[in-house]
Amino acid sequence: MAKPQALVLDFGGVVTRTLFETHALTEEALGLRPGTLDWRGPFDPASDALWRSMQADEISERDYWKTRTREVGQLVGEDWQDMSTFVQRARGADPQAVVRPEAVRAIDIAHQAGVRLAILSNELDLFYGKSFRERLPLLSLFETIVDATYTKVLKPDPRAYAMAGEALELPLSSCVFVDDQTRNIDGAIAAGMLAVHFDVARPAQSYAEALGHFGLSLS
């Protein structure tokens, strides 16, 4: 089998740390008492009923974050209707502070080895705001960003993966896709991609697995 040619990454959770991991930063930025935010998603599913509903496909990922956005806005006495307000208020003016160091290392290794890079996201600009990517130099290494904020086609719809392949002008079998949501991984496999389910609790291990498909090492 020929070696794959492109690494296609989800953004939130894979390139950046999840909002679950940065509760302390969020609380500090918003002036909330430490420990106020107690929903932990994949880090403690038993204590997060809304997350379990999302994992059971009873609600969408966007529905989950719409609810959390409204809740956090209410905590600071404001009416937040869109996720970008939450993310931008919680993460402040320094995007680099929430980027996973493992992501920086893995992306650099892949780039230096000539692996083509792409982002396939359901909500990069919707959640983070367009200015976020403009202030993140790391994204200049990606030759294409397919963002459902604009395409309106959400993973795991097969058309989303096809758009990434078309943008790269590669067959999907030549792409390694990395995402932290099982449903999106299942969709990628069904579309013909190699896929790595990103474990947000073990980012180095997940990136090592992804690079391994190209004969590369994270170390």
Give the pLDDT confidence score for residue 135 in this predicted structure.
86
CB 161 within 8 A of CB 154: no
Domain map (residue ranges) of the chain? 6-17+99-212, 23-95
Distance of CA 173 to the CA centre of its chain: 21
190's CB contacts (< 8 A; 6+ apart) are 156, 158
Question: What is the CATH code of the structural domain delimited by 6-17+99-212?
Answer: 3.40.50.1000
Give the pLDDT confidence score for residue 93 in this predicted structure.
61
Residues lower than pLDDT 70 in the chain: 1, 92-93
| Predicted structure pTM score | 0.92
Strand order in 175-179's β-sheet?
144-147, 116-121, 6-9, 175-179, 194-197
Distance CA 118, CA 98 (A): 19
Q: What is the total residue count of the chain?
A: 219
Residue-wise pLDDT tens digits, 13-38? 999 999 999 999 899 999 999 999 99
Give the pLDDT confidence score for residue 1 in this predicted structure.
64
Q: State the distance between the two ends of the chain, measured CA to CA, in whole angstroms.
A: 25
Residue-wise pLDDT tens digits, 43-63? 999 999 999 999 999 998 889
Place of tokens 């290494």: 141
